[in-house]
Chains A and B, each alone.
Chain A
Amino acid sequence: MITTFAASLNVGLRRALEDDPKVLLMGEDIGRLGGVFRVTDTLQKDFGDSRVIDTPLAESGIVGTAFGMALRGYRPVCEIQFDGFVYPAFDQIVSHVAKINFRTQGKVHAPLTIRIPFGGGIGSVEHHSESPEAYFAHTAGLRVVTPSNPADAYSMIRQAIALDDPVIFFEPKRRYWDKADVDFDALGRDAGLPLDRARVCTTGTDATVVAYGGTVATALSAAKIAAEEGHSLEVIDLRSLSPIDFDTVEESVAKTGRLIVTHEAPVFAGLGAEIAARITERCFYQLEAPVLRVGGFDIPYPPAKLEKHHLPDPDRILAAVDRSLAA
C-alpha cells in the first residue's frame, strides 16, 4: 500500500504492540494527540493508556523509568519529542541504559528503543533540528540506526524493538511525509535487511557517496544529476551508525576508488571522520583521492532562513564529487 514514513512507523509500532504484551510506548503527547508527528496516532485508543503512556514532561524521567521497567522484563519504546530535547536524558542513556549489560556481565539487559526525530529541513525553531548521532555512536553498548525511507522505517523499528540491546532510533523528520509503496505483510517481523547492514541504493562506478537518514534522498538527487553529466555515482544508505557496515562501504570503494560521506551533523569529529579513517585503513591502495566529507558547518544549528545553506544539498555533494574526480 502507498504509505508515508510516519505511517509506516505507526504500523510497525502497532504490530510490535500486538505481538508482544511486554512492548509499551512512553513519551510526551503520544497518547490522544498521537505524537507531535502523529507517529503513534490511534495507538493509545486501541491499546489503552497502560501500553501507550503519556508521561510527565521529563526526558531523564522517561528514559530512567523505562530502564526500570526493562529490568522487570518490559520492552519500552521511548519517544523523545525532538532531537534537542534528548540531552536531559543523556546521563540515563549513556550511564545506565548503555552500560547495564556490561556492568552486570550479561545478567541484566536493557532492551529499550529510544525514538528520536532528528535533523532539520522543516523550518523549525532552535533545538528542533539537531543531529546528535555522534554522541550516541561514540557510546559503547548502544546501537544507533536511522531509516531513510518508509519500508525501512517499518522493518527497522520492528527489528529494533525485538533486539535485546538498547537502540537509539533516529527518524529523519523531514522524511516523515515521504511516500512509498510498502507491503507490510510481505516484510513481516524479521524481513528486510538485517538491522546492521548498509544498503547500496544505486550502483555506480566513478565514486561512492555514503549517506544516512535525511541525506540519502539528497545523495540520490545528486546521483541523478551526476548521471546527466556523465558521472556514475554509487549511493550507499548506511542505515546503522553503530555498528557501521564497513564491509559494504569497502566493497564499493574498492570498485569506485573514491568516497564522499555526507551528513547533516557538523563535520568535525562526526561520523564522516570515522568512516574516512576506517576506509582509508581498509582501502589505502584502492583510493584514488582523499575521502571527502560534505556536512553541516561546525556551528549551532542555524535559524530556519539559513538552514538551506547549512544542510548538504545536491550541489555541495556534486562539488565534492568534482574535487574527488579531479584528484
Chain B
Amino acid sequence: MPGQPDYPVQLVQPDGRRVLDPEHAALVADVGPEQLRALYEDMAITRRIDIEGTALQRQGQLGLWAPLLGQEAAQVGSAHALYPDDYVFCSYREAAVAYCRGVPPTELTRLWRGVAHHCWDPHAVNMTNPNIVVGSQGLHATGYAFAAHLDGAEIATIAYFGDGASSQGDIAEALGFAASWSAPVVFFCQNNHWAISEPVRVQSATPIARRAYGYGMPGVQVDGNDVLAVLAVTRQAVARARSGGGPSFIEALTYRMGPHTTADDPTRYRSAAETEQWARRDPIDRVRRLLEREGHWDYAFELRVTEHADEVAHQVRTATIDLPDPAPTELFDHVYTTPHPLITEQRREYTEYLTGDPDEASARPEGVPR
C-alpha cells in the first residue's frame, strides 16, 4: 500500500544509535532527555513488577502469572501515547500498560491470586481488566469506540492483543465492524512470536499488519522493542482516531522472553539461541545505551530508578500477601444486578449449612457486599 513502509518502523537501533526516519522521528520530537528517562524508568519498574509476579507465583502466593518480560517497550511506549480519557481494552499480559494507566501496583495481582476475577476498577483508570478469552476484547473495544463516536467524544479506544489472538474470528470481525463504522479504535497487536508453543508462522503466512489493508485501514509494523518507535506510531494512530480518522492497526514486533505463563516450559519448544538473540535486542538496554550515548545517564539516576522499582515491587508483594480469601458467601454476590430467586435461595441454604444459623442466612440481601 502506498505510504506504508514494508519494514518495521525503528527510531533507535539495539546499540542505542538513532535511526534517520524524519517522518516518525517528528512524532516524538518533543521527547527530550527527561521524557526519555521517564520512559526508561517505567520500563524498569514494570520489569521489576513482572519479576516480582513470577517470584510470588514460585513462592505459592499467586496461582499463576503471565510474564511480560521483554515486552516493556511495546507496552510502555504505546501506553505513553494515550490520554487519560482514552479507553484501553487489554489481554492478560498488559501489567505494564496498567501501571502506566495509573493502576495502583497493589491492585495488579488480585486476579492471579484467585481472590477475584478482576484486578482494578475499570472505569477508575479507563482500562478493562485482564481478558482471558483470547481476542474477544477486539470487539468490545470496537463497540466502545463506536459508542464514544456516537457520544461525540473525541477519544481513542485501543485494543491490545497478541499474534495468537490475530487468528481468532473475533479479531477479524472487529476489523470489519471498525472499518464499516469508521470507529475510532486502534488495534495494537503485540506480536511476541509465540502463542504458548506455536510460533507466529502457525498463525499467519504474512505480516499480521498487512491484514489491515484488506479492511481499508492503515497497518504499520513497528520494532516493538524500540520504545520511541512504538510511542511514535501509537501517537499517530491515536491522533487519527481522536480526530475522526477512523481505525488503524499496529503490529509491534517484540519477543516474550519468558514463558507464556508460569505454568509453561518454553525450553520444550524453542531454542536457547533464539532467546539469546532476542536478549541482545532487550528493550530496556536499548534506552540505556541511547541515554549513555547522548550523555544523559548517570549513576544517581540508575540508583534512583532501582530504588523506586524495588519500592513498587515491595508494594506488590505486601499487598498480594495481605489479600485475604473472600468470604464463602461472596460466591453469590453480583451474579445479577437484581435479586434472582435461585441465587437468593442457594445463598440462604449454603449460609445455613456453614453456620447452622437460619437467621444469619437470611440477614444479608443479595448483591450487598460485606
Contact = CB atoms under 8 A, between A and B. Distances in A.
Interface of A: 24, 50, 55-56, 58, 60-61, 64-74, 88, 91-92, 95-96, 99, 101-109, 140-141, 143, 163-165, 196, 242-246
A163 B338 contact: yes
Contacts of A105: 116, 118, 333-334, 369
A116 to B, nearest CB: 19
Contacts of B89: 68
B150 interface: yes
Given A68-B143, A143-B340, 19 more contacts: A56-B176, A60-B139, A64-B140, A65-B143, A67-B140, A68-B144, A71-B122, A71-B140, A71-B144, A88-B169, A92-B139, A96-B133, A102-B333, A102-B334, A102-B335, A104-B122, A106-B337, A196-B341, A246-B341
B221 interface: no
B139 A140 contact: no
B150 A68 contact: no
Contacts of B336: 101, 141, 143, 165
B141 interface: yes
Contact of B170 (A64, A103, A104, A107): A64
Contacts of A244: 342
Interface string B83-118: 000000100000000000000000000000000111
A109 B143 contact: no
Contacts of A58: 173, 176-177
B142 interface: yes
B160 interface: no
Contact of A56 (B151, B177, B333, B337): B177
B174 interface: yes
B293 to A, nearest CB: 43
B136 A95 contact: yes
Contacts of A92: 136, 139, 170
Contacts of B335: 101-102, 140-141
Given A61-B177, A64-B174, A106 B136 contact: no
B144 A103 contact: no
A58 B172 CA distance: 10
Contact of A68 (B123, B129, B141, B169): B141
Contacts of A88: 169
Contact of A165 (B141, B177, B180, B337): B337
Nearest to A70: B143
B133 A61 contact: no
B6 interface: no
A35 B177 CA distance: 19
B143 A64 contact: yes
A61 B334 contact: no
B118 A61 contact: no
Contacts of A55: 177, 180
Contact of A243 (B140, B151, B342): B342
A65 B173 CA distance: 10
A103 to B, nearest CB: 4
B148 interface: yes
A107 B117 contact: no
Given A58-B177, A60-B169, A61-B174, A102 B117 contact: yes
A212 B69 CA distance: 55
Contacts of A196: 341
A95 B139 CA distance: 13
10 nearest interchain CB pairs? A68-B143, A64-B139, A65-B143, A61-B173, A72-B147, A68-B140, A68-B144, A164-B337, A69-B147, A103-B117
Nearest to A196: B341
Nearest to B145: A68
A89 B197 CA distance: 28
A103 B110 CA distance: 12
B249 interface: no
Contacts of B121: 104, 107
Interface in B326-358: 333-338, 340-343
Given A58-B176, A65-B142, A68-B145, A103 B136 contact: no
B108 to A, nearest CB: 16
A166 to B, nearest CB: 9
A56 B145 CA distance: 16
A26 to B, nearest CB: 9
A197 B243 CA distance: 49
16 contacts: A56-B177, A61-B139, A64-B170, A65-B140, A65-B174, A66-B143, A68-B139, A69-B146, A69-B147, A74-B150, A96-B133, A96-B140, A103-B129, A104-B121, A104-B122, A243-B341
Nearest to A107: B121
B367 interface: yes
Nearest to B338: A165
Contacts of A108: 122-123
A70 B117 CA distance: 19
Given A60-B139, A105-B116, A68 B147 contact: yes
A24 B150 CA distance: 11
Nearest to A109: B337
Contacts of A164: 337-338
A56 B215 CA distance: 13
Contacts of B369: 105-106
Contacts of A56: 173, 176-177, 180
A60 B170 contact: yes
A141 B343 CA distance: 10
Interface centre among B129, B147, B333 (most CB of A within 10 A): B147
Interface string B55-93: 000000000000000000000000000000000010000
Nearest to B149: A50
Contact of A72 (B144, B173, B176, B342): B144
B74 to A, nearest CB: 23
B140 A50 contact: no
